[in-house]
Amino acid sequence: MLTALDTTSLAVEVSRGAPIAVPGSRELPKLENFLSRFDPSLAAREIVVDIPDTSDGRPLLDAWSGATPLRVEVGLADGGHVTIEATSEPARRLLGTPRGFWLAALGLLIAIVTLGGLFRAARPVRRLSLALEAFSETASPVPIQPMGPPDLRHLIETFNRMQERLSALLKGRAMLAGAISHDLRTYLTRMRLRIDAIEDPVERSGAEGDIEAMAAIVENSLAFAQSAGGTELHAVIDLSALVRGEAERYRKQGSAVVSAPCPDGLMVRGDAIGLRRVVANLVDNALRYAGEAEISLTATTDGFAELRIDDRGCGIPKDEREAIFEPFYRLDTARNLERVGSGLGLTLTRQIVEAHGGGVSASDAPQGGTRMRVLLPLAATN
């Protein structure tokens, strides 16, 4: 048993004679009394607990902390005694547990409390982020219950007020645009009736063209104002059928529109009216500036439908390919005074495409001219 108990950190030895304090050591009577009362079998035995004498006056604290070796001697029934001495600091234990355990437990407790506080503080931030994302897509207010620290609660309250003001502003703008559009349509209708009295066919044709151009400006302006209110993307649209239908409509009108064969069943999630307007705006631009348009639709390997509108016009300079999507921007205004338009067609196109999770860009067409490229994410099919 002595061999098994005697280790590098704990020395156990049986000696003759009664327990005595080692010269130059300090006894710890409180620990001796504690051990005597710890077990009835020890009450009648002589117990000596001592540590090396130090001058700092903290023997008990030093023994518990492992700063000095602690020695315990207990008398045996045959008149001898057993000596148990911790010979290295790792053997020091407090209440039967290594002292490092309590430090680790305290650190774990602090970490748990800290993580709990972080998760609690991050929850309203996450809700704020989701509400902001939803508001940016639909322009409909998403109120959030203020919670968290005072600064965060103030931020959420400010965000709620901002949502309400922006939503009201967008709705008011759409209503104003609708009212103006309605009044302008009324006067345009009257003008269409009056031009029939113009006898000169050239003058009458010019007046009809002006009225049609004004009507297009009104329609684009109204659509641009209404598009800021967000687009509901609930329906699954057969983009292949939609593009083929638009191409056929232009051909019936006598426009020079060529459509390449496209795969069937390219489905996207979105708004059919908005997607038709995208195709119409891009084809109208090609016809206005080049007199013809070539339409093609394919599926990419990364899950997008790719719509291309090519023309054989003079092209778009590289430094202006991004600017053409800005409201009221026109290319080479001085040389295109006769090519009327609202200046909102491509801006509206980008808004609709981006609301569908896609993108639109301009580049050079392989045969010369301009290629307008639209990418729309394909709808997931079960």
**Are residue 370 and residue 246 in the same domain, yes or no?**
yes
Reported as type and span, the H/E element at residue 57 is none
**Structure tokens that stand for 345 in this block:** 């067609």
Range of the domain at 15: 2-94
**Are residue 364 and residue 318 in the same domain, yes or no?**
yes
Please report the DSSP string for 226-291 in residue order. Answer: HHTT-----EEEEHHHHHHHHHHHHHHTT--EEE----S--EEEE-HHHHHHHHHHHHHHHHHHHS
**Structure tokens that stand for 220 in this block:** 């684009």
One-letter amino acid of 1: M
**Structure tokens that stand for 259 in this block:** 């459509």
**Are residue 69 and residue 110 in the same domain, yes or no?**
no
**Are residue 135 and residue 153 in the same domain, yes or no?**
yes
> Are the CB atoms for 68 and 52 separated by under 8 Å?
yes
Would you say the pTM of this structure is higher than 0.85?
Answer: no
Of 179, 195, 230, at which residue does a domain stop? Answer: 230
Q: What are the pLDDT tens digits along the chain (382 aa)?
A: 777 777 777 788 888 888 887 787 888 888 888 888 877 777 788 888 888 776 455 555 555 555 567 788 888 888 888 888 876 554 444 445 555 677 788 888 898 888 887 777 778 888 888 888 887 767 778 888 888 778 888 888 998 898 888 888 877 777 777 777 777 777 788 887 888 778 888 888 878 877 777 777 677 666 666 665 555 556 888 999 999 998 998 888 888 888 888 888 889 988 888 888 899 889 988 988 888 999 999 999 888 999 999 998 888 888 888 888 887 777 654 344 344 555 677 888 888 888 888 999 999 998 889 999 999 999 876 5
Tell me if 382 is assigned to some domain: no
Please report, for the domain that includes residue 371, its CATH number. Answer: 3.30.565.10
- The rounded distance, in Å, linking the Cα atoms of 340 and 332 is 13
Going 241 to 243 to 246 to 247, the CA torsion angle's sign is negative
**Are residue 72 and residue 118 in the same domain, yes or no?**
no
Under DSSP, is residue 319 helix (H, G, I), strand (E, B) or coil? helix
Beta bridge partners of 377: 304
Cα angle value 91/94/96 (rounded, 5°):
80
